[in-house]
A and B are shown apart, each in its own frame.
Chain A
Amino acid sequence: MPELNLTSAPAHLRHGSSIGQPLTRRDGVLKVKGQATYAADNHPPGMLFAVMAVSGIAHGRVTSLDVAAAKRHPGVVDVMTPDHKPQLAIDPEIKTNPFVFRMEVLQSNEVRYANQPIAVVIAETLEAATEGAVLLAPRYEELPALVGVDAGASFVPPVVGVGNPTENHRGDVEAGLASADKQIDAIYETPPQYHNAMEPHAIVAHWDGDGVQIDMPTQGLMLSLARVAELFGIAHDKIHIRSPFLGGGFGSKGLMAGPPVLGLMAAKLVGRPVKLVLRREQMYGPVGHRAPTRQRLRIGADGEGRLTALDHHARTVSSTFDDFYEPAADASHTLYAAPAIRTSHDAVRVNTGTPLFMRAPGEATGSIALESAIDEMAWACGMDPLAFRLKNYAEVEPITGKPFSSKALRACYDQGAARFGWAKRLLQPRQMRDDSGLLVGWGMGTATFPALMFQAQARAVIRRDGAGVMEIGAHDMGQGAWTALAQIAADAVGLDIDRVEFKAGTSDLPDAGIAGGSAHTATAGAAIHSAGAAVIAKLADLATNDERSPLFGAGNAGVIARDGRLIRRDDESRSESYAEILARAGVAEVEARGTGAPNPAAMEEYAMHAHGAVFAEVKVDPELGQIRVTRMVGAFAAGRIVNPHLVKSQLFGGMIWGMSFALHEEAITDRRSGRIMNANLGEYHIPVNADVPPLDVITVEEHDPHVNALGIKGVGEIGITGSAGAVANAVWHATGVRVRRFPIRIEELLTQR
């Protein structure tokens, strides 16, 4: 059994064998039987249905709504409009903190983007509310829409991502480029993309006096609760949010968006519980997306293939009324050891819903451009792409010069390349064919994602019967938190996993922070780990201070918590069960709280990132241009792997998303109207099963004593990075055509025969 000796010189140890086990997800049976209750599955008595009417134009204002026609429709109860709505306690335009985004909750007739909510129809049935929304037949005063990355004058935003500097540099990039033997100067474009979680945004809102019960998928229970509290002017303890399961979030359910607030307002307006679920096309507007980018990379290399300079500039867009800037160029900070690096961003404002975090924000968009450009430079230098990357391997973080807390990327390259058979790759493009004459290409990309930590609390209890309880308001978006965090909880209190009641997913539990940034397992796990330590310490105090206990006097020697017993560290023959300790002490239970938080000292000292290497094979029809990925291998080093089974699934998902980025995903925006023309899952292409080849994931062992108490780096987002570039580079290797606009389209490959 691995020893969980993870805090400095603890008096007591905990032994467990749950962490590291490939347990199948504990909520799996509920889900396959349809018994997992998602938000929209809740139907409180008397519930009404609310349907949003959304704007058909992208810019202007609503001049009329036929409210009377909607109200005449049988079953319609009320129509909420800017003129008829409950008042909010604060102006939704006010940003009370950087994690608050402006939203459209009928505060005016202004239209700032297509699919913006302009009214809400509330009815006895979903059908009646839907038809009521149609009958509103809105009229508009339309203004020209700003569309695309060239829509207007660019500006330099104050920050990108979450508080990242807009510009970074180290060394003299211009001098590095001037001294280079080889130069690449290329522009890459990525399209707007939408999260498209399987489960649409939904809320069931049930006011009871001045309190409210909310069923709503959220990646941030307490952030959502705080936003509801300030918008409606009610105390935190009057709000209860349940979010036990999310059908995917990917960043779009992290912060409170307008539509669930409209559901709360509608319920308040009519004095009955209300359900509001977004239609698929309504998710292309008010709930965030990944902004398009146009990225310019200038790279220099010397005669031996060593980078002399790396200049990465990203243009992106934000909305006309709020600020989120895809930090695409920041992807060039960590991977390649250029002596001179500069990253910069600018932006234009367009008529769009405000862009938001979408799975690997910045890293995904930046990675496909950077990995393509690195591939181009390897070819320019006449080098194998892997050899080129190894030649420029960063031993310290290039942009800061800090050492890495751990970095097993070399092992990822080695193991991934060996599994893929990379050594047999021909250097020249368009040289490999299969038996049926299809072009074959092999490409690779390096994956990276920061190892982040947020803030979380947990509460641990040991009960009289010797069983444990672990409480944390954590979020399961499908990634497996119900399982992985329960595994950490079991080891945290020295019990078998089936002896620990794990509670998560509601806002009355301790704050687990946000499930984002690939940091949820690390952050919530650290809180659980520390709560477990605290409760075991309390239990040990009860025993070691009681002369009737076989552990009496072991306070200094310390105990080991294992299988529901405390055992003297220096004499394993002396032990006592949790139940015996509590029974004799005459207490029903002991409880303690713990915290997970970043360690500023470690962050100051070390650069902390997960890494990986992805290898892809594609086949391309030489005449017809259709592309098919036929094989992918990803090797990832992400610190401690809590559950190898779930982690593989996460990495598979990321790799598929990367392939989707390179070949499929694009929100097609009408250049005149600013409307998304493929706002549905039939036409917004993501890979279907038949597109997904055999995937092979290797988790490379990596021990990191610095990132957090458990050594976890997170795997939620890294799979996309590297993968998108690997597929794009494989397409080049297959065809000899370098496509720099993503997704790669058939017509780009028809230029040659």
Chain B
Amino acid sequence: MKQFDYVRPATVAEAIAAAAQPGATYLAAGTNLLDLMKGNISRPDRLVDVTHLDGLDGIETLADGSVRIGALVSNADLAHDAGFAKAYPAVAEALLSGASAQLRNAATVGGNLLQRTRCAYFYDTASRCNKREAGSGCDARDGENRTHAVLGWSENCIATNPSDFCVPLVALDAIVEIEGRNGRREITLDELHRLPGNTPERESALEPGDLIVAVRLPPAARGFAAHARYLKVRERTSYAFAIVSAAAALRIENGKVAEARLALGGVAAKPWRARAAEDVLRGVAPTAGVFQEAAWRALTDAKPSGDNAYKIELARRIVVRALILAAAGTPARIAALPASPFASTSGAIHA
């Protein structure tokens, strides 16, 4: 593979300075980046290894009731943190439905937010890809694209964001804490990922050197703990990306939905917050009929980008099911097959 410099900074400030150089990129667990480098898709000149930085691996509850997750917390440690999983069950369920146990043990929170698309044309360097090489064209557009985007895509890019974790996070208004050359700033997770438009190569709001140091869930996110689920339809039971997924969270008071949160995964270049559907649900009794209406609203703007019209109908059905599951109440324990339609199947062993 291409030779590169390896830098292990001692402080966040050193990291930012090292990573701000052209051709530099951060390395955390590398569960995505190292594959991209071996496949010649990413060819960084310099890796800035942040895994030894202090203070980025804690899960802390702040005075205002929010929770702050360090960027280096592993997916597995977060999902298995009892307090976290109880307060944010859909997030834990999403984490446990992703990748494999081995990958979850290694992969970090910050890295998960920045994982790249799984579009096959992005990974295949013999194909054209505007995301990999700006302006080269998109071979996915008329290619094998049954799993590609149905929302927010452009003629330049129909790739999807593959993260499970980000779906409930965006539903819960997660905030991303960023350290950069000009100090610390915060953006919502919804603002982190960009839709492709004419610049699919620009995937996030991050600037050179920017380092995600933490993800914060605001105090209100706890209010959904009793009615929060993540549901993921995929082509095998484990170690597969979502065809479509959904996170649904309800705050139910006196038999009515006081507040609803809904987001979809696998449908767009970013985790897709469905605010219009949330509006449909506010203040009404949680019934199948209103869930159907919410599902239609969530997919109002959807259109196929290829052989994937079925994903729109599938997404509607997943929204309905996720809302039904959320309304039924968060189970006391996460199922052996997290987020799976087969979570209830007896005899299942943990995926």
A residues engaging B (CB < 8 A)? 56-57, 74, 114, 127, 130-131, 134, 281, 434-436, 438, 619, 621, 623-626, 628, 630, 663-664, 668-673, 675, 677-678, 682-683, 685, 687-691, 694, 745-747, 750
Q: Are B120 and A677 in contact (CB under 8 A)?
A: yes
Q: Are B337 and A690 in contact (CB under 8 A)?
A: yes
| Minimum distance in angstroms from B298 CB to a CB of chain A | 16
Q: Are A438 and B345 in contact (CB under 8 A)?
A: yes
Given A127-B1, A630-B345, A677-B144: A624 and B233 interface contact (C-beta under 8 Å): yes
Q: Are B314 and A624 in contact (CB under 8 A)?
A: yes
| Minimum distance in angstroms from B133 CB to a CB of chain A | 14
Q: Are A621 and B341 in contact (CB under 8 A)?
A: yes
Chain A residues closer than 8 Å to B345, beta-carbon distance: 434, 436, 438, 619, 628, 630
Given A438-B342, A691-B238, list of 4 further CB < 8 A pairs? Answer: A134-B1, A435-B344, A438-B344, A668-B120
Q: Are B127 and A675 in contact (CB under 8 A)?
A: yes
| Chain B 95-130 near chain A by CB (<8 Å), digits 1 or 0 | 000001000000000000000001011001111000
Count of chain B residues with a beta carbon within 8 Å of a chain A beta carbon: 45
Q: Are B314 and A746 in contact (CB under 8 A)?
A: yes
Q: Are B349 and A626 in contact (CB under 8 A)?
A: no
Q: Are B234 and A626 in contact (CB under 8 A)?
A: yes
| B146 close to A (CB within 8 Å) | yes
Q: Are B237 and A688 in contact (CB under 8 A)?
A: yes
| B318 close to A (CB within 8 Å) | yes
User: How many angstroms from the CA of A619 to the CA of B341 in the assembled complex?
Assistant: 10
Given A677-B121, A685-B235, A746-B243: A670 and B127 interface contact (C-beta under 8 Å): yes
Point out the residue from A436, A626, A671, A694 that lies within 8 Å of B344, measured CB to CB.
A436
Given A619-B342, A668-B144: A688 and B238 interface contact (C-beta under 8 Å): yes
Residue of A nearest to B313 (CB): A750
| B239 close to A (CB within 8 Å) | yes
| B203 close to A (CB within 8 Å) | no
Q: Which B residues, 325 to 344, have Cβ-Cβ distances below 8 Å to chain A?
A: 337, 340-342, 344
Chain B residues closer than 8 Å to A691, beta-carbon distance: 236-238
Q: Are B139 and A670 in contact (CB under 8 A)?
A: yes
Given A624-B341, A688-B239, A746-B235: A131 and B126 interface contact (C-beta under 8 Å): no
Given A685-B235, A746-B243: A623 and B317 interface contact (C-beta under 8 Å): yes
A-B contact pairs, 10 of them (CB 8 A): A127-B1, A131-B1, A438-B345, A626-B233, A664-B235, A664-B236, A675-B124, A675-B127, A688-B237, A691-B237
Chain A residues closer than 8 Å to B121, beta-carbon distance: 677
Chain B residues closer than 8 Å to A673, beta-carbon distance: 126-127, 139
Q: Are B143 and A677 in contact (CB under 8 A)?
A: yes
Point out the residue from B125, B146, B236 that lies within 8 Å of A687, measured CB to CB.
B236
Q: Are A130 and B341 in contact (CB under 8 A)?
A: no
| Minimum distance in angstroms from A138 CB to a CB of chain B | 10
User: How many angstroms from the CA of A134 to the CA of B3 in the assembled complex?
Assistant: 12
User: How many angstroms from the CA of A746 to the CA of B318 in the assembled complex?
Assistant: 13
Q: Are A690 and B233 in contact (CB under 8 A)?
A: no
CB contacts between A and B, total, < 8 Å = 117
| Minimum distance in angstroms from A285 CB to a CB of chain B | 12
Q: Are B118 and A131 in contact (CB under 8 A)?
A: no
Q: Are A672 and B142 in contact (CB under 8 A)?
A: yes
User: How many angstroms from the CA of A675 to the CA of B143 in the assembled complex?
Assistant: 11
User: How many angstroms from the CA of A134 to the CA of B239 in the assembled complex?
Assistant: 30
Chain B residues closer than 8 Å to A690, beta-carbon distance: 236-238, 337, 348-351
Residue of B nearest to A73 (CB): B3
Q: Are A747 and B146 in contact (CB under 8 A)?
A: yes
Q: Are B310 and A747 in contact (CB under 8 A)?
A: yes
User: How many angstroms from the CA of A683 to the CA of B120 in the assembled complex?
Assistant: 9
Q: Are B143 and A672 in contact (CB under 8 A)?
A: yes
Chain B residues closer than 8 Å to A678, beta-carbon distance: 120
User: How many angstroms from the CA of A691 to the CA of B239 in the assembled complex?
Assistant: 10
| Minimum distance in angstroms from B345 CB to a CB of chain A | 6
User: How many angstroms from the CA of A721 to the CA of B178 in the assembled complex?
Assistant: 56
Q: Are A688 and B233 in contact (CB under 8 A)?
A: no
Q: Which B residues, 142 to 160, have Cβ-Cβ distances below 8 Å to chain A?
A: 142-144, 146
Q: Are B2 and A750 in contact (CB under 8 A)?
A: no
Given A621-B341, A628-B342, A675-B127: A694 and B144 interface contact (C-beta under 8 Å): no
Q: Are A624 and B237 in contact (CB under 8 A)?
A: no
User: How many angstroms from the CA of A625 to the CA of B233 in the assembled complex?
Assistant: 9
| Minimum distance in angstroms from A261 CB to a CB of chain B | 24
B residues engaging A (CB < 8 A)? 1-3, 39-40, 100, 118, 120-121, 124-127, 139, 142-144, 146, 233-240, 243, 310, 313-314, 317-318, 320-321, 337, 340-342, 344-345, 347-351
Chain A residues closer than 8 Å to B235, beta-carbon distance: 664, 685, 745-746
Q: Are B1 and A57 in contact (CB under 8 A)?
A: no
Residue of A nearest to B239 (CB): A688
Chain A residues closer than 8 Å to B350, beta-carbon distance: 690
Chain B residues closer than 8 Å to A683, beta-carbon distance: 118, 120
| Minimum distance in angstroms from A124 CB to a CB of chain B | 13
Chain A residues closer than 8 Å to B142, beta-carbon distance: 672
Q: Are B314 and A688 in contact (CB under 8 A)?
A: no
User: How many angstroms from the CA of A436 to the CA of B347 in the assembled complex?
Assistant: 14
| Minimum distance in angstroms from A434 CB to a CB of chain B | 8
Chain A residues closer than 8 Å to B313, beta-carbon distance: 750
Residue of B nearest to A57 (CB): B126
| Minimum distance in angstroms from B145 CB to a CB of chain A | 10
Chain B residues closer than 8 Å to A746, beta-carbon distance: 233, 235, 243, 310, 314
Chain A residues closer than 8 Å to B344, beta-carbon distance: 435-436, 438
Chain B residues closer than 8 Å to A74, beta-carbon distance: 3
User: How many angstroms from the CA of A357 to the CA of B345 in the assembled complex?
Assistant: 37
User: How many angstroms from the CA of A628 to the CA of B345 in the assembled complex?
Assistant: 10
Given A134-B2, A623-B321, A626-B233: A677 and B238 interface contact (C-beta under 8 Å): no
Chain A residues closer than 8 Å to B126, beta-carbon distance: 56-57, 114, 673, 675
User: How many angstroms from the CA of A623 to the CA of B246 in the assembled complex?
Assistant: 15
Q: Are A747 and B314 in contact (CB under 8 A)?
A: yes
Q: Which interface residue of B234, B235, B318 has the most chain A CB atoms within 10 A?
A: B235
| Minimum distance in angstroms from A36 CB to a CB of chain B | 22
| Minimum distance in angstroms from A550 CB to a CB of chain B | 61
Point out the residue from A675, A694, A750 that lies within 8 Å of B310, measured CB to CB.
A750
Chain B residues closer than 8 Å to A130, beta-carbon distance: 1
Chain B residues closer than 8 Å to A663, beta-carbon distance: 236
Chain B residues closer than 8 Å to A677, beta-carbon distance: 120-121, 124, 143-144
| Minimum distance in angstroms from A629 CB to a CB of chain B | 10
Residue of A nearest to B121 (CB): A677
User: How many angstroms from the CA of A688 to the CA of B237 in the assembled complex?
Assistant: 7
Chain B residues closer than 8 Å to A621, beta-carbon distance: 233, 341-342
User: How many angstroms from the CA of A694 to the CA of B240 in the assembled complex?
Assistant: 21
Chain B residues closer than 8 Å to A624, beta-carbon distance: 233, 314, 317-318, 321, 341
Q: Which interface residue of A436, A625, A677 has the most chain B CB atoms within 10 A?
A: A677
Residue of B nearest to A134 (CB): B40
| Minimum distance in angstroms from B324 CB to a CB of chain A | 10
User: How many angstroms from the CA of A522 to the CA of B87 in the assembled complex?
Assistant: 61
| Minimum distance in angstroms from A621 CB to a CB of chain B | 4
Q: Are A628 and B237 in contact (CB under 8 A)?
A: yes
Chain A residues closer than 8 Å to B347, beta-carbon distance: 630, 694
| Minimum distance in angstroms from B266 CB to a CB of chain A | 12
Q: Are A131 and B120 in contact (CB under 8 A)?
A: no
| Minimum distance in angstroms from B316 CB to a CB of chain A | 10
Chain A residues closer than 8 Å to B144, beta-carbon distance: 668-671, 677
User: How many angstroms from the CA of A435 to the CA of B2 in the assembled complex?
Assistant: 55
User: How many angstroms from the CA of A319 to the CA of B276 in the assembled complex?
Assistant: 53
Q: Which interface residue of B124, B233, B320 has the most chain A CB atoms within 10 A?
A: B124
User: How many angstroms from the CA of A532 to the CA of B249 in the assembled complex?
Assistant: 72
Residue of A nearest to B336 (CB): A690
Chain A residues closer than 8 Å to B349, beta-carbon distance: 689-690
Residue of B nearest to A133 (CB): B40
User: How many angstroms from the CA of A670 to the CA of B344 in the assembled complex?
Assistant: 37
Chain B residues closer than 8 Å to A623, beta-carbon distance: 317, 320-321
User: How many angstroms from the CA of A746 to the CA of B243 in the assembled complex?
Assistant: 9
Residue of A nearest to B344 (CB): A436
Q: Are A626 and B127 in contact (CB under 8 A)?
A: no
